[in-house]
Structure 1
């Protein structure tokens, strides 16, 4: 299932120039010719490369989706690490130009058609993650039917929440924050993603100790029982 359109993907900096023009003139007032001028290409080339004003706004997502698919398809990282790193790479791309990212956010806030298109993009990311997860889950796994859509939706939701928080000035280092939160999310699924992991990593230790003992002596006793 390809994640990008059949059109050649334009250079990211071209879409950024177009987003700035849309913000300056307004979405409805801006023509394809205006955007072609902003990008520095003919009107016919614009239609071949982008197709519509909507496609310009979401061109970075085409790049991000292609990048994500290529990464997940070629990485040798364990699944939990691959999911975190791939999602963080998407955020790096979408936030590489803070001004353009914020202009895109404002355009979507004030343009209902773009908000509808954003939902379609969200589902495309979920499908990319789900496809990867189905490929890496152990064959015959009882979780194969529910885990890919559940975890995929969670990855996208955490990414989008972090991006929105960054756009509103709530976090300075969005990629670091996203990585931290994604590791917590993926850890909830680790038993299914890495079923052959060292059982000792999930060992439960039950300690019985004298209520009058000091905390230090209790810790020493527990440490002495561990290998």
Structure 2
């Protein structure tokens, strides 16, 4: 998901990825060669390629981890759709913000680099497709195809709004509110996949053929109410 609109920071964590993101932020993405970036984080060029793949990949390494963990969670969860989505999305937030300084520097780098913003859009669509496939799998019978598409896009949008609040304003309650927001969001898609559904009820009726159809319907409706 997106992590732009954050204020610049001046310190970085000591991990290789954090050092790389800081170097790219300070020296410019397009002006930095892979060799100079590898030197900056104390790796040979071949080691850098084995670990990260490219200077673009090192910027989005947290997203790769978050996507992998999210897929595993969606595949294994036995919770309701609402709880599964909330839990998975909050875990994405945790991964992306576990190093706040690097998260904010990456945001600054994305804002200043059009090429990276294009890659960010691709990653956003990966989150959407992942949620869409999960929702389509758990959807109630009769759910229209567009239901899972619309819900997935909304989930990503709500998450990104919370992430921007955290980035821009240092709002420590952003992710506490996110769980409630996601639960409310999927509730609006009920009864497709919006939350817990009650047990099914079956009503069996018998009636005389001389009873008016509207009287039968009223009797059945009274039992179901």
Task: State if a TM-score over 0.5 links the two structures.
Answer: yes
CA distance in 2, matches of 1:144, 1:18: 45
Between 1 and 2, higher relative CO (CA 8 Å, sep ≥ 6) is seen in 2
Alignment of 1:161 onto 2:161 = yes
Q: 1:89-143: CA deviations, max 9, x gaps?
A: 10111011110010010001011111111110000000111111122123xx222
Correspondence for 2:73 among 67, 71, 74: 71
CA distance in 2, matches of 1:155, 1:13: 30
- 1:182 aligned residue: 182
Q: 1:4-37: CA deviations, max 9, x gaps?
A: xxxxxxxx94322211121222212222123223
Aligned pairs for 1:115-194 within 5 A: 115-138=117-140, 141-169=141-169, 171-193=171-193
Q: Answer whether contact 1:15 1:60 (CA < 8 A) is retained.
A: no
Query: What residue ranges of structure 1 are gaps of 5+ in the alignment?
Result: 1-11, 201-227
Q: 1:56-79: CA deviations, max 9, x gaps?
A: 111110000001000111111111
Shift of 1:144: 4.2
Shift of 1:196: 7.5
- 1:6 aligned residue: none
Shift of 1:87: 0.5
- 1:99 aligned residue: 101
CA distance in 2, matches of 1:34, 1:178: 40
Q: Tell me the matched-pair count.
A: 187
Q: Answer whether contact 2:186 2:194 (CA < 8 A) is retained.
A: no
- 2:35 aligned residue: 33
Q: 1:32-55: CA deviations, max 9, x gaps?
A: 123223443220121233232211
Aligned pairs for 1:202-221 within 5 A: none
